[in-house]
Amino acid sequence: MPGPGAPDLVIEVVIPRTAVYDRTVKREAYALAGVAEYWLVDITDRTVEVLSLKKNTYLSEGVFREQTSLHSKVVLTIAEVAVEQVFA
């Protein structure tokens, strides 16, 4: 369950210059805030990692590449996202 005032989903675009910060500092901040789902969109690798908050820590639901689809567990209006659409 999201924290009070926390968004259900954060989508972070990861670039080489900020990758370590996005995957550590921001990840921890979002977990502490109670953001239920965190997507890391890596523009270099053209992947999307989906992380779900469980007991105040993120667990990876998988790293999705082009030609696959992913689902949001918290935003019910997102039925399915084709990964290649993220990079269009």
CB count in 10 Å sphere of residue 74: 15
Question: Taking the alpha carbons of 85, 80, 19, 30 in that order, is the dihedral positive or negative?
Answer: positive
Sequence-ordered list of residues with C-beta below 8 angstroms from that of 7, at least 6 positions apart, any chain? 35
Model pTM? Answer: 0.82
Gap between the Cα atoms of 85 and 88, Å rounded: 5
Provide the pLDDT for residue 30: 95
Provide the pLDDT for residue 2: 53
Q: Which residue has the tokens 């995957």?
A: 23
Sequence-ordered list of residues with C-beta below 8 angstroms from that of 24, at least 6 positions apart, any chain? none
Domains of the chain: 9-86 (3.90.1570.10)
What pLDDT, in 10s, does the model give residues 13-60?
999 999 999 999 999 999 999 999 999 999 999 999 999 999 999 999
